Structure 1
Amino acid sequence: MTSTVMRSADSADSAVRRCDIRLPAAGFVGAALLVAAVGCGGGDDTAGPDLAASPTNVRWQPFQGVPLPVTDQGPKSTADGAATGFEHSPRGAGVAALTHSVRLAVAADTQWAKVAARELVPGPAKDEWAINRVQLSITGPASPEFAPRLLGYKITGYTEQNSTVDVYAKYSDRSKAVHHTTVEWFGEDWRLRLPDPGSTARPIDSIDALPTDIVKLEAPT
């Protein structure tokens, strides 16, 4: 997706000045972030949003045995197991990706339908997930053996309509993994978009070490 920055020439300047435009591609999982940096004879630079900015006023609240962040960027509300109300910004998208992916995974039998209704983008992927979830049973908090401990996230692509977010977590056996997620601005909130049923992309990969450039949101032990 391409961002174009246009500046109108000064009416007193009859010369046509050329602007150097740099468009660095960020192409993880097919997403692209194009940030235009324009320099026109000493004019102000125009850049895209800061994808590495950390959420503010971070607190931690447990959900089904897993600590989840509550920040100034969201969620603003939690009810019936579902978390909603995320800021329309990269920070809001990052916190939403962490929150939705965990809540969807560990929601109890009495919670998952409402979590899916309020935190997922409608469509075939959501429908297929619901069919599979009916066949499982979660009645209590997540077992410590399988409960993830969040470590942070990295936004790999961002627009005002959707964002690709890598979510990093650690498990009780000390293994680490990165979950490749997508959140979409839907119904005035960030919701998780599950992979299409026919997708062959890997939703999760094991890793040996964390990247140095992630936004750290490390859950308490």
Structure 2
Amino acid sequence: MAAVTVAACGGGSSSTSPETSDPYAPPTNVTWTTFQGVSIPCAEQGPADCPAVAPRGYQHNGAGAALAAISATIRMSVAADNDIPRVLGMLVAPNDARDDFAVNRQLISITTPVPEGKAPQVLGYVLDDYTRTRAQVSIITRQPDQSLTSNAAVVTWSAEGDWRLELPSTVTAPRVKVLTAVPTQNFIPLPSSN
């Protein structure tokens, strides 16, 4: 999967008020950056500094929430050992689940990017639920074996004024589900990173 690294993107140059726009409107001017071998979308709705290890600066709207969920989920999954403290500290909401993840993450070591051709490709997302303080997103990806998955993610609007991934304190259902097809209802596609 080919990916393009961008110098900077996003951060709120939208002509409409980010907080009053339609939460289900798709992101605009989508570009892609590569982090540890995985392509991550960026857009006018954020982040402000797309290629950063732990980028911040998402708009307070549905597209900003979805982009934050996608970025944080990927970054915490593949961050190198020396980057994981910054990723967790900046992109994941503080709670016991984040602390547990940090402790368990020390049991494995990631020092190299995902090998070429082995990274999943983000196809788009479904904004399952949205309020001004919380959004639930299903991230739709194509895996290297061409199977489709949906990864459930929740982001919350922080006191610092940005979206943060909220790890669940208890897992009652699988966060990743296998799909037989890309959803047709409420699916917001992202342009290909190829």
Which TM-score applies when normalising by structure 2?
0.84
Please give the alpha-carbon distance, in whole angstroms, between the structure 2 residues aligned to 1:218 and 1:184: 25
Question: Residue 150 and residue 79 in structure 1: after superposition, are their counterparts in 2 closer, same or farther (change >3 A)?
Answer: closer
1:45-69 per-position Cα deviation (integer Å, ceiling 9, x unaligned): xxx9634311111111111111111
Map of 2:93 onto structure 1? 121
1:86-115 per-position Cα deviation (integer Å, ceiling 9, x unaligned): 000011001111111111111111101100
Please give the alpha-carbon distance, in whole angstroms, between the structure 2 residues aligned to 1:70 and 1:204: 22
Please give the alpha-carbon distance, in whole angstroms, between the structure 2 residues aligned to 1:128 and 1:146: 27
Q: How much does 1:144 deviate?
A: 4.0
Paired AA for residue 166 in structure 2: R
Q: Extract structure 1 runs of 4+ deviating beyond 6 A.
A: none
Deviates more, 1:143-152 or 1:100-109: 143-152
1:166 aligns with 2:161: no
Can you give the 5+ residue segments of structure 1 that lack an aligned partner in the other structure?
A: 1-47
**Highest Rg: 1 or 2?**
1
Map of 1:214 onto structure 2? 187
- In structure 2, which of residues 111, 129, 136 is the aligned counterpart of residue 157 of structure 1? 129
Please give the alpha-carbon distance, in whole angstroms, between the structure 2 residues aligned to 1:56 and 1:78: 14
| Residues 97, 182 of structure 1: 8 Å contact kept | yes
1:92-140 per-position Cα deviation (integer Å, ceiling 9, x unaligned): 0011111111111111111011000000000100001001111111111
RMSD value over aligned CA atoms? 1.7
Please give the alpha-carbon distance, in whole angstroms, between the structure 2 residues aligned to 1:145 and 1:162: 34
| Residues 29, 43 of structure 2: 8 Å contact kept | yes
| Identity in percent | 36
Please give the alpha-carbon distance, in whole angstroms, between the structure 2 residues aligned to 1:130 and 1:50: 35
Please give the alpha-carbon distance, in whole angstroms, between the structure 1 residues aligned to 2:110 and 2:161: 30
1:133 aligns with 2:126: no
Map of 2:161 onto structure 1? 188
Question: Residue 126 and residue 146 in structure 1: after superposition, are their counterparts in 2 closer, same or farther (change >3 A)?
Answer: farther
Map of 1:15 onto structure 2? none
Please give the alpha-carbon distance, in whole angstroms, between the structure 1 residues aligned to 2:165 and 2:175: 13
| Residues 166, 180 of structure 1: 8 Å contact kept | yes
Q: Which has the higher contact order (CA 8 A, sep 6+)?
A: 2
Please give the alpha-carbon distance, in whole angstroms, between the structure 1 residues aligned to 2:149 and 2:115: 18
